[in-house]
Structure 1
Amino acid sequence: MLPREQTELFEKQFLNENACLSVDSKGRKEPCEPCPLRTCFQRDRDRILHCNSFRRLKHKTQVYLSPAGDHYRTRLTHTLEVSQIARTISRALRLNEDLTEAIALGHDLGHTPFGHAGERALNELSPDGFHHYEQSLRVVDILEKDGKGLDLTEEVRDGILKHTNMIADTKEGYVVRFADVIAYINHDIDDSVRAGIMTEEDIPKNITKVLGGSKSERITTLVTSLIKGGAESLHMDDEVSDAYTALHRFMFDFVYTNPKCKSEEVKAKDMIAKLYDYYVHHIEKLPAFYMNLAYQFGIDRAICDYISGMTDGFAIETFKNLFIPLGWTKY
């Protein structure tokens, strides 16, 4: 029996009845020979892990733009934390951990430079709007591998698309949605404490009484509550859910709209807007790959593809090259 077949047999024997089995996958748009070693979901995980868009996440903002320090989260470290939390939940519920991991690793591939500030900028500029979860699917379907895409299974594609505000078709996709919010609320607290925006003691006592007074305690409480709810329902108990909602409201008021935290966002949005406007009027300046996309999908979509794929540093360097006279850089 091949290693892949052994894993598929294990899934049938030991996974929860609500789990998505590898052998039951709806498959890919372009069928291919099964791998002797890996299931289809393990194969998807590896395709994501080795793609260019995944590597670029290490140079994309999570919350804080250009922070002074090496310990702030980037979009890549956020993705890894989501993957870890999601795998813990799936393993405890005996769901398909490989499917969960693939969705988690791919969920933010379409995110812009400068975090949600960049996303909001493109959403305001594009006539069709821009949402990172839709762009993540576009990355894996079209943009990766020089336009060939990664050809992922339908279950992974569905989980990537629906990780923000839709209900995924699989329980594994729904787990990633929970893991995403658990991860970002807690690492944003951690980064905000490091930045001097807040302290742990600023969090209201009615919240810490339920969730705990540290990142580890809060994650444990949230994950444990979700696991206790079971794979069928996948929900937290009311007390924990209410405390999480209160924590999110606190973070929105205390951090996410804090002028000190968001002081650079206006500059980032202006930079994105100027880049967008430049390429609208100078479409011929796009790289050849994106010129071809413009012919296929329209100018706006090609520009959004190009800008959203930039890292923070590449966007800044491109802006300098286009708008800053070379001699000025000496001063």
Structure 2
Amino acid sequence: MFTRADLEAREAATLAPYATLSAHSRGRAYPEPESATRTAFQKDRDRILHTTAFRRLEYKTQVFLNAPRDHYRTRLTHTLEVGQVARSVALTLGLNETLAEAIALGHDLGHPPFGHAGERVLNALMEEEGGFDHNTQARRIVTRLEDRYPDFPGLNLTLDTLDGLNKHERSGLGPPSLEAQLVDAADALAYTAHDLDDGLRSGLLSPEHLAELPLWQELLARVPPQSPQLTERDRRTLHRELLGWLIQDLTAASDAAIRASGVTSAAAVRAHPERLITYSAPMRERLRETSAFLRENLYRHWRVEMQVEQASRLLQTLFAAFLARPSMLPPVVRARAEVDGLPRAVCDFIAGMTDRYATEMHAALVPPPTTVSWPG
């Protein structure tokens, strides 16, 4: 049986010198004994995996709201795909696979119902209270809102994992660890590949739409479709090839950047002025073009926009109703309002809802009109 000390020794012997070692973790806000058989980052990963917030990701939107079919990505399947990419690249680069996985599993915990549309609505509603951002909310969940332990709030994750969830508020902190940088890159990689795939599957995008997109042109040159019409098998083959191509580029470009930087420790990575997990310059341009294409042709497609409008009105109604009548809130939320103020407590409550629960709550508050039968 391997002990934690054995696992830490294995990391020290096998990982690259610039990887983040669990034995050198920066600790936890609340001191507690570490596991006898798991590293500190394994404990972080397991704690995130067992949260209520993680389970709710299954019923939170990625792109398509209230999708009537089971095949589209959800926030949970997206998270798992990010974790798979991060682990694969971490293994190749000699980084700490477990830390990368822990950060990947936690990176989207703060997303509200209805995807980025829900985030925009909550941010506008909370403008005078500090706004709303899903990355900040993820940290709030794991440091305060998850109530699972008697001796501390939240999950008491290591500062290394928490730093990885701190994607945008990095003033004065310098670049994060290579494992955290990797999750950030894997996130962009995963949603680029699977949003293209879901767009084609849904019919909102077609091969004709994509014909002028440089990434698509190069992808077809790498794997020409087997028939003039893009079949299901062709689409799956192209998606698989795109993932492999992006992962290969990310791995090779990051390895070159790390070597050129001369960093020889995790501390040197955090002191380095630039991020070292990166794509090649041509691929960065392809991803920029593709992101702009998806924004204009998929995320702003008229069918998606109708769903976005529906979700926006729904969340605005819920927010206003709970502010006007706090007695409708569960006791735990009312108790939190005593500490954080009513608007933030309501925002936390709504942000934690799944798409389905938010829809059911709205239907209970605003039932559909009863059909009237007129005499004669």
Q: Which has the greater radius of gyration?
A: 2
Query: What amino acid is the match of 1:177?
Result: D
Give me the whole-angstrom Cα distance separating, in 1, the residues matched to 2:183 and 2:335.
34
Query: Residues of 2 paired with 1:200 and 1:14: CA distance?
Result: 45
The answer to whether the 8 A contact 1:102-1:156 is kept is yes
Q: Of residues 317, 333, 339 in structure 2, which corresponds to 1:290?
A: 333
Contact 2:213 2:290 in 1 (8 A): no
Shift of 1:239: 1.2
Q: What is the match of residue 56 of structure 1? A: 56
What is the identity, as a one-letter code, of the residue corresponding to 1:51?
A: T
In the aligned structure 2, how far is the partner of 1:181 from the partner of 1:200?
22
Over 3 Å counting, the alpha-carbon distance change for 1:290 and 1:240 in structure 2 is: same
| CA distance in 2 between partners of 1:180 and 1:146 (Å) | 28
Where does 1:152-167 land on structure 2 (aligned, <5 Å)?
152-162=157-167
Residue 178 of structure 1: which of 185, 196, 199 is its match? Answer: 185
Q: Distance in 2 between matches of 1:55 and 1:176?
A: 20
**Following the alignment from structure 2 to structure 1, what is the Cα–Cα distance between the partners of residues 217 and 169?**
28
After superposition, give the CA deviation of every residue in 1:115-171 in whole Å (9 maximum; x if it has no partner): 111111101101221011100110111111268311111111111121799875211
Partner SS, residue 80 of structure 1: helix
Work out the percentage of aligned pairs sharing the same amino acid: 39
Whether the 8 Å CA contact 2:213–2:289 is kept in 1: the answer is: no
Contact 2:18/2:95 (8 A) holds in 1: yes
Matched, 1:235 2:278: yes
The residue that corresponds to 1:145 in the other structure is 147
* Cα deviation, residue 97, structure 1: 0.5
How far, CA to CA, are the matches of 2:209 and 2:296 in structure 1?
Answer: 12
TM-score (norm 2): 0.83
TM-score where L is the length of structure 1: 0.94
Asked if the contact 1:210/1:239 (under 8 Å) is kept, the reply is: no
Report the Cα distance in structure 2 between the residues aligned to 1:275 and 1:46, rounded to whole angstroms: 33
Is 1:208 matched with 2:212?
Answer: no
Q: Which moved more, 1:217-226 or 1:121-130?
A: 217-226
**8 A Cα contact 2:87 2:101, kept in partner:** yes
The verdict on how the C-alpha distance between 1:19 and 1:296 changes in structure 2, with shifts beyond 3 A counting, is same
Code of the aligned partner of 1:207: L
C-alpha RMSD of the superposition: 2.2
User: How many angstroms apart in 1 are the aligned matches of 2:170 and 2:63?
Assistant: 20
- The alignment partner of 1:69 has SS state of coil
Instruction: Look up the match of 2:195.
Output: 188
Unaligned runs of 5+ in 1: none
1:254 — aligned with what?
Answer: 297
Query: In structure 1, what is the equivalent of residue 118 of structure 2?
Result: 118
CA distance in 2, matches of 1:129, 1:87: 33
What is the SS of the residue equivalent to 1:310?
coil
User: Mean Cα displacement is larger for which, 86-95 or 277-286?
Assistant: 277-286
Query: 1:38, 1:201 → 2: CA distance?
Result: 51
Contact kept? 2:99, 2:179, Cα under 8 Å? yes
CA distance in 1, matches of 2:284, 2:190: 15
Question: Counterpart of 1:129 in structure 2: which amino acid?
Answer: G
CA contact (8 A) 1:59 1:74 kept: yes
8 Å contact kept, 2:254–2:279: no
**Cα drift, residue 209 of structure 1:** 4.3
Letter in 1 for 2:91: R
How far does residue 261 in structure 1 lie from its aligned partner after superposition? 2.5
- The answer to whether the 8 Å contact 1:59/1:75 transfers is yes
1:182-220 CA distances to partner (integer Å, 9 max, x unpaired)?
111111111111111112453235323445562222222
What is the alpha-carbon distance in structure 2 between the residues aligned to residue 12 and residue 44 of structure 1? Answer: 19
Distance change (3 Å), C-alpha of 1:29 and 1:330: farther
Contact map agreement 1:2 1:36 (CA 8 A) in 2: no
1:1-331 maps to which residues of 2 (within 5 A)? 2-126=2-126, 127=128, 128-145=130-147, 148-162=153-167, 168-203=175-210, 204=212, 206-211=214-219, 214-231=238-255, 232=258, 233-324=276-367, 328=370
